[in-house]
Amino acid sequence: MNIEQIEAQREAILDQLRQIRTLYRGSINEQFFLVPSKSKNQAVRRGPYFVLSRREGAKTISRRLNTAEDLDQARQDVAAHKRFVALCRRYEELTERLGQMERQGDDGKKNGGDRRGQRPGGASAPRDGGAK
């Protein structure tokens, strides 16, 4: 991959990031409750109730999702956050690679190659070990 290809991929990632309009860092959890039954002597399980949660420092912030629309939007927002994080990681990898290539003055070719048997300055070492 050369510098131009990396820059094109970085631009494509930025375009994808611009398209993300909403996101939510967190997860959706299901809650169930045991409720005493009037007709039976044992509790009845009620649920699932969906809760959108995330950590903020040492606290967990949670919000009950009361409607199907709330649940659907929360699922989209959580998925958008995962996509956002993946795109950011890929952008980071490409930028790191771009920096390495630019520092090496590389235009996409590998530097270093196989240098076994070469002396400083690029001269080849004799194959017979230098004996005559």
Residues 50-83 pLDDT 10s:
999 999 999 999 999 999 999 999 999 999 999 9
Domain membership flag for residue 20: yes
Q: What is the band of 87 on the pLDDT scale with cuts at 50, 70, 90?
A: very high
Q: Amino acid identity of 78?
A: V
User: Where in the sequence is the domain holding 92, given as residue range(s)?
Assistant: 3-104
- Max CA distance (Å), the chain: 105
**pTM of whole model > 0.75?**
no
Rounded Cα distance, 3 and 95, in Å: 10
Helix (H) or strand (E) holding 68: helix 68-104
Residues 7-45 pLDDT 10s:
999 999 999 999 999 999 999 999 999 998 888 788 889
Rounded Cα distance, 26 and 73, in Å: 13
- Look up residue 105 and give its two tokens: 């003055």
Rounded Cα distance, 50 and 60, in Å: 15
Domain membership flag for residue 118: no
Domain membership flag for residue 131: no
Domain membership flag for residue 129: no
Angle of CA points 64, 78, 56, to nearest 5° = 65
Domain membership flag for residue 34: yes
Rounded Cα distance, 60 and 89, in Å: 25
Domain membership flag for residue 79: yes
